[in-house]
C-alpha cells in the first residue's frame, strides 16, 4: 500500500502522510531518548529539565525537553496524546487555571493548523477510585458532568480549538471483588453522556475485560462514543477487544483510537523499567502480534471510512518512534519480513 504523496518516510521517522485516514502519534512527548530520531541533536541541550519519576520501588531520572520541541514532533507525527491531563483538571474548583492549563497554553503557541491533539480526561471524572497516599479511595466526582464541562471540556476547547480532535475517558482496571455490575456501569455511562455536550470526539477505554459487553456497547453506540482498543497489561488482544463489540466502530465522528501501551501480561512498573531510557527497542519486550493486529485494524478501518489514530507508548517496546516505524513498514510493505 503506497504512502500518500507527502514526505512520509518511516526510515527517517516521518509518519505524516502515511495514509489520509491514518494518524500516527505517541502517548506524551519531549523525551530526551528521542534525540536523533524526532528531535535535533544539540538543539535543546541547554534547556533540558530533569525530574525523578518513582515507579514501584525504583526511581528513574528523566530528561525532559522544552514544550517548544513539539514543533519538531509534528514534523514527524500527525497526532499527540497528552497524558498529564489525566492527573488534574485544567481549572480547579474555583475556576482558576491549574499548572496543566498553563502547560497546554504553551503547547498552543507552537501548533500548526493540522496538528492533532488527543487529551486524556482527568481521572477525577473517569476513574471509580483515585489513589490518595498508599490507598485507593472511592471517587466522589466519578462521572460528574459539571466537573467535566466546567473544569475540563470548556477550557480545553477554548485553548486548543480545532486542534483538539479527541477526548479519552480512561477507567482503571477493576479487581473482581470491586467491580460494579455491568448494567450499573452502563446506566451510569448513559446518564453521563446524556448530560454532557453531544460530541464526535469522545472515546472510552475500559481496562476491565468484563465490561467489554453488550450493555456497555449499546450505550457507546447510542451516544457515538468510540471504544478505545488498548494493548495493555490485563486486556485481551486488540483484535479480541474489537470482536467483542461485533467488529464495530462506534464513534460517530468516524474516528478510532488504538493505543499501544504495554505488553500484554506485563505490569506497568516492569514495562517501564525495561523500556527506560526509551532510546531503543528492547529485545523481547515488544510483542509482534501487537504490530500485526494494529495493521489489520488500520486496514479494516480504512475500508469502512474510519480515521485511525495510532497512539504509541515507549513501554510497548522501548522506543515509541521505532515501534511506529515497525507499524508503518508493516502497513506499507506487508509482504516483506521486517524482523
Condensed to tens digits (0 to 9), the pLDDT of residues 137-185 reads 889 999 999 999 999 999 999 999 999 999 999 999 999 988 999 999 9
Q: What is the pLDDT of residues 185-229, one digit of tens each?
A: 999 999 999 999 999 999 999 999 999 999 999 999 999 999 999
Q: What is the pLDDT of residue 77?
A: 99
The answer to whether residue 338 sits within a structural domain is no
CA 257 – CA 238 distance, rounded (Å): 11
DSSP string over 206-269: E--GGG-SHHHHHHHHHHT-EE-EEE-TTS--HHHHHHHTTS----TTSEEEEEE-S-TT--HH
Within 8 A by CB and 6+ apart from 302, the residues are 19, 21, 22, 308
The answer to whether residue 4 sits within a structural domain is no
Distances (CA, A) of 227 to 145, 221, 241, 247: 20, 9, 9, 11
Here the CATH number for the domain that contains residue 219 is 3.20.20.410
Q: What is the pLDDT of residue 135?
A: 78
Distances (CA, A) of 121 to 138, 165, 202: 18, 13, 10
The answer to whether residue 2 sits within a structural domain is no
The answer to whether residue 339 sits within a structural domain is no
Q: What is the pLDDT of residue 338?
A: 55
Nearest-5° angle of CA 71, CA 73, CA 75? 75
The answer to whether residue 5 sits within a structural domain is no
CA 19 – CA 7 distance, rounded (Å): 11
Q: What is the pLDDT of residue 112?
A: 96
Q: What is the pTM of this model?
A: 0.95
CA 15 – CA 324 distance, rounded (Å): 8
Q: What is the pLDDT of residue 6?
A: 55
Grouping H, G, I as helix, E, B as strand and the rest as coil, residue 205 is strand
Helices then strands (H, E): number in the chain? 11, 13
The answer to whether residue 103 sits within a structural domain is yes
Range of the domain at 188: 10-332
CA 99 – CA 218 distance, rounded (Å): 37
Q: What is the pLDDT of residue 56?
A: 87
Grouping H, G, I as helix, E, B as strand and the rest as coil, residue 31 is strand
The answer to whether residue 1 sits within a structural domain is no
- Which stretches of the chain drop beneath a pLDDT of 50? 2-5
The domain total for the chain is 1
The answer to whether residue 326 sits within a structural domain is yes
CA 233 – CA 266 distance, rounded (Å): 5
- Minimal CA–CA distance to 312: which of 278, 266, 277? 278
The residue with cell 446518564 is 191
**What's the N-to-C CA distance of the chain in angstroms?**
19
Amino acid at each position: 500500500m503506497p504512502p500518500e504523496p507527502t514526505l512520509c518516510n518511516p526510515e527517517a521517522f516521518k509518519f505524516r502522510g502515511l495514509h489520509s485516514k491514518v494518524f500516527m502519534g505517541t502517548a506524551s512527548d519531549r523525551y530526551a531518548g528521542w534525540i536523533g530520531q524526532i528531535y535535533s541533536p544539540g538543539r535543546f541541550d541547554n534547556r533540558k529539565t530533569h525530574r525523578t519519576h518513582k515507579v514501584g520501588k525504583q526511581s528513574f531520572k528523566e530528561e525532559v525537553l522544552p514544550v517548544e520541541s513539539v514543533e519538531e514532533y509534528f514534523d514527524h507525527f500527525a497526532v499527540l496524546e497528552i497524558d498529564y491531563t489525566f492527573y488534574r483538571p485544567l481549572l480547579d474548583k474555583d475556576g482558576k487555571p491549574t499548572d496543566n492549563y498553563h502547560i497546554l497554553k504553551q503547547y498552543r503557541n507552537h501548533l500548526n493548523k493540522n496538528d492533532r491533539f488527543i487529551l486524556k480526561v482527568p481521572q477525577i471524572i473517569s476513574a471509580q477510585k483515585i489513589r490518595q497516599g498508599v490507598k485507593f479511595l472511592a471517587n466522589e466526582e466519578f462521572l460528574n458532568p459539571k466537573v467535566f464541562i466546567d473544569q475540563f471540556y470548556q477550557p480545553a476547547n477554548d485553548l486548543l480549538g480545532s486542534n483538539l480532535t479527541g477526548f479519552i475517558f480512561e477507567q482503571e482496571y477493576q479487581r473482581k471483588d470491586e467491580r460494579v455490575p455491568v448494567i450499573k456501569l452502563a446506566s451510569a455511562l448513559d446518564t453521563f453522556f446524556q448530560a454532557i455536550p453531544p460530541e464526535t470526539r469522545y472515546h472510552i477505554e475500559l481496562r476491565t475485560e468484563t465490561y467489554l459487553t453488550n450493555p456497555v456497547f449499546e450505550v457507546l453506540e447510542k451516544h457515538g462514543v468510540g471504544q478505545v482498543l488498548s494493548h495493555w497489561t490485563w486486556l485481551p488482544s486488540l483484535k479480541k477487544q474489537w470482536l467483542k463489540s461485533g467488529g464495530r466502530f462506534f464513534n460517530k465522528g468516524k474516528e478510532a483510537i488504538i493505543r499501544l501501551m504495554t505488553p500484554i501480561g506485563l505490569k506497568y512498573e516492569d514495562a517501564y523499567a525495561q523500556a527506560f531510557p526509551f532510546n531503543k527497542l528492547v529485545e523481547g519486550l515488544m510483542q509482534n502480534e501487537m504490530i500485526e493486529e494494529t495493521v489489520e485494524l488500520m486496514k479494516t478501518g480504512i475500508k469502512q471510512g474510519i480515521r485511525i489514530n495510532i497512539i504509541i507508548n515507549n513501554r510497548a517496546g522501548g522506543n515509541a518512534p521505532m515501534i511506529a516505524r515497525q507499524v508503518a513498514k508493516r502497513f506499507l510493505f506487508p509482504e516483506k519480513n521486517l524482523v
